[in-house]
Amino acid sequence: MTTRILVGFDGTPEARSAARFAAQLAVERRARLLLVNVIPEPWPNSPLSEQNAARQAINEEEHSTAEAVLRAEAAELVGAETRVALGKPARALAAVAAERDVALVVVGHRDRGALARVLAGSVAIRLVQICSKPVLVLRRCDPPPTPACIPRSAVVHELQRSRARAEILLHLSLLLRRVLLAWGRAGRRRLRRLGEAEPAVSDNRSARQDDG
């Protein structure tokens, strides 16, 4: 059975750089290159026929665009296989890697701030966490690095760094959640105290009126 190298490809510069690196690696390892573009799940049907027609048009447009992006890249990387997957990017790529004879998953990394990665999430970090196959995360590089220039120890080190970053971001998100929960509980306690204080103030006013 032919071994494959899977590339998460969405047409971005980071994905193109990752695809070209993976193509060189596939030639050296005599492996097949598999480009996978992930799009959202199709819109569900609606009771209104007018909405169904619009949603169907959107679904077809997204699928056609994804296929066109893959065909354009496959034309430059001769012999590359292509596939459009549905769902969330990290989970869909991990599923395809598990069901096919994939030796390595390669994805490009978009350099964003730590807060943006916590709030919006990172496909690369999530993929490292859930994928059952080795994952190589590459930053954009023009021209892309050659596989011969990257020793195995560097690849392992990059994977370890990705896992470490994922753990740090996970701890930050948990800490942020705890702070928000604590802030919410403190706010509710203040509201309860205010609610308990209002009857006492009303009783004091009533007592003063009766004395008057």
Asked if the model's pLDDT at residue 46 lies above 70, the reply is: no
For residue 119, tell me if it sits in a domain: yes
Phi, then psi, of 198 in degrees rounded to 5: -60, -45
Distance (Å, whole) CA 143 – CA 149:
13
Amino acid at 166: A
Asked if the model's pLDDT at residue 107 lies above 70, the reply is: yes
Do 125 and 117 form a contact (C-beta atoms < 8 A)?
A: yes
What is the tens place of the pLDDT at every residue in 168-205?
A: 666 676 777 777 787 877 777 777 777 666 555 555 55
Sign of CA dihedral 103, 7, 2, 129: positive
What is the tens place of the pLDDT at every residue in 117-153?
A: 444 457 888 898 899 999 999 876 555 555 554 444 4
Domain count, the chain: 1
Terminal C-alpha separation, the chain: 98
Comparison of pLDDT for 83 and 118, the residue scoring more? 83
**pTM across the whole model:** 0.62
Give Cα separations from 29 to 22, 57, 79, 143 (angstroms): 10, 41, 14, 20
How much is the pLDDT for 168? Answer: 66
How much is the pLDDT for 170? Answer: 63
Do 134 and 98 form a contact (C-beta atoms < 8 A)?
A: no
For residue 32, tell me if it sits in a domain: yes
Report the CATH number that the domain containing residue 167 is assigned in CATH.
3.40.50.620
For residue 113, tell me if it sits in a domain: yes
* Collapsed DSSP state (helix, strand, coil) of residue 43: coil
Confidence band for 41, pLDDT divided at 50, 70 and 90:
confident
Q: What would the mean pLDDT of 101-111 be, rounded to a whole number?
A: 86
For residue 33, tell me if it sits in a domain: yes
Asked if the model's pLDDT at residue 112 lies above 60, the reply is: no
For residue 206, tell me if it sits in a domain: no
Can you list the alpha helix ranges (DSSP code H) found in the chain?
13-29, 49-76, 89-99, 114-120, 123-130, 152-211
Distance (Å, whole) CA 19 – CA 48:
42
Q: Which residues constitute the domain of residue 50?
A: 4-171
> Which residues 6+ apart lie within 8 Å of 31 measured at CB?
2, 3, 4, 5, 25, 103
Amino acid at 78: V
How much is the pLDDT for 151? Answer: 46
Comparison of pLDDT for 50 and 127, the residue scoring more? 127
For residue 17, tell me if it sits in a domain: yes
